[in-house]
Amino acid sequence: MENKVTTTDTLPKIRLGSSGPMVSRFALGGMTFGAEANEATAHSLLDVFTAHGGNFIDTADNYNQGVSEQIIGKWGKKRGGFDDLILATKGRFSPPAGSYGASRRSIVRSVEASLKRLQVDAIDVYIIHGWDKDTELTETLSTLADLVHAGKILYTAWSNLSGWQLQKVVSTARAYGFPIPVSLQPQYSLLERGIEQEVLPCCIEEGIGITPWSPLGGGWLTGKYGADIRPTGSTGLGKIQTGV
């Protein structure tokens, strides 16, 4: 099913999944904010992105121990808020709040901490950063539902799920009347196409949007690396290659 695209801005907009918000086709990820990109650089990138019609900003509570969220929050306050933007963040791994996993305790603590760092009253798209085998899925989904009802998050989403895990999330949410995720964030690029086997067909069948991470293969597909130019530890890909 083809989503209708509007072109009132430089970057066209598309609905996130079948029931999510309207977002720019390109999102700006904040994983490097506070590490490779300092605050000034990050704010400049955010300025350029939004000036060209981008409205979808993605981060996570564990990106550089919460610094990414803090940087985005400061930028948002400086510009007068995020009312014209869609802000997504994630929780699941150990953030500065000191909690872990997808349990009720962890999610509530993580959401409250992210709200403070981002300086917002609600998170547009809240993403569970990965499967938690130690927590009952109904506990995770009911907690997300409570947070939606409380107005602290507006839409739910997941990241890094296999095909069966995603289908279980959708089927369980539907059975209990919990919010169905509007999107999934998997690794996907010309170098990593594993989701085409089961995950992507599940998303298409269930009307779930795809917001891939590392679409340029960590930089390999940009053309800036070659036999004589290798990734260094000062880059995200370099840290992976060197084990930093």
Q: What is the pLDDT of residues 26-49, one digit of tens each?
A: 999 999 999 999 999 999 999 999
Average pLDDT score over residue span 150-177: 98
CATH no. for residue 191? 3.20.20.100
172 with 141: CB under 8 angstroms? Answer: yes
* Whether pLDDT at 7 is above 50: no
- Taking the C-alpha atoms of residue 120 and residue 1, their distance in angstroms, rounded to an integer, is 33
Q: Closest by alpha carbon to 15, among 86, 111, 76, 114?
A: 86
Residue 243 counted as domain residue: no
Residue 240 counted as domain residue: no
* Beta partners for residue 24, in sequence order: 13
* Whether pLDDT at 2 is above 50: no
Half-sphere exposure of 130 (CA within 13 A, CB side): 11
Residue 49 counted as domain residue: yes
- What pLDDT score was predicted for residue 233? 57
pLDDT band at 228 (very low <50, low <70, confident <90, very high): confident
For the chain, the domain total comes to 1
- What pLDDT score was predicted for residue 211? 97
Average pLDDT score over residue span 213-221: 86
- What pLDDT score was predicted for residue 41? 98
- What pLDDT score was predicted for residue 98? 64
Residue 79 counted as domain residue: yes
Q: Closest by alpha carbon to 58, among 46, 41, 44, 74?
A: 46
- What pLDDT score was predicted for residue 9? 55
Give the domain range for residue 133.
13-213
Average pLDDT score over residue span 96-109: 85
Residue 4 counted as domain residue: no
63 catalytic residue (yes or no): yes
Q: What is the pTM of this model?
A: 0.89
Residue 75 counted as domain residue: yes
Q: Write down the catalytic residue from 63, 100, 126, 225.
A: 63
- What pLDDT score was predicted for residue 65? 92
- What pLDDT score was predicted for residue 3? 46
* Whether pLDDT at 97 is above 80: no
Dihedral, 172, 177, 179, 183 alpha carbons, nearest 10: 40
Residue 144 counted as domain residue: yes
Residue 26 counted as domain residue: yes
